[in-house]
Amino acid sequence: MKLKKILSEQWVSVYILIAVAILYFIYSLGFMTNFYRLFYDGDSAMFEVYKELQLLNAFIFENALITLILSIVGFAFELNKKKCSVLNVIYVAGFLIYEISNLSTILGAIPYYINKYSKLNFTLIRNYNSSTVMFTLCYVFSIGILLILAIIAVSLIIRIMKQKRERYREKSYE
């Protein structure tokens, strides 16, 4: 019964998706903050890792921006309302496929960057805290967005099935 209640409140999921997309975008803007010391105070190996992290940062920023835009465009498809159409399902399916492709890229890239980052000698930089939290947050945001989109997709499919069943019942009574 609780699952049905969660799925029937699709509009909550839409607003949560937008909130997570905003947080993901803010995260993408601050991704490199912890790594600037590698550029300013580090050696040449740290500088090389810093340059490579710029590529990851650009990917995360682009993904976060597109995710935010697609989340807001969901209002044009009235995902926050009880109306449901096949177009809504196609939109959410496309959005979900886009996020899955980005997650597959992130799942492959993050371990590579963590490995390169972990191999650096941080004793050269005074008072530097080496942490992989920023990498882990990338996983959290990507998986969180995927789960929210999956909930929205399932609720849309259930709503369409209910609408078809009601139409069938109405036709059978006529």
- The confidence score (pLDDT) of residue 85 equals 74
Averaged pLDDT, 20-41: 89
Q: Which residues contact 37 (CB under 8 A, 6 or more apart)?
A: 125, 128
First to last CA, the chain: 32
- The confidence score (pLDDT) of residue 115 equals 93
DSSP H helical segments within 31-130, as ranges? 36-41, 44-73, 86-118
- The confidence score (pLDDT) of residue 135 equals 92
- Rounded mean pLDDT of the chain? 85
Query: Cα separation of 15 and 23, whole Å?
Result: 12
- What's the structural domain count of the chain? 1
Query: Cα separation of 30 and 75, whole Å?
Result: 27
Residue 84 belongs to domain spanning: 2-173
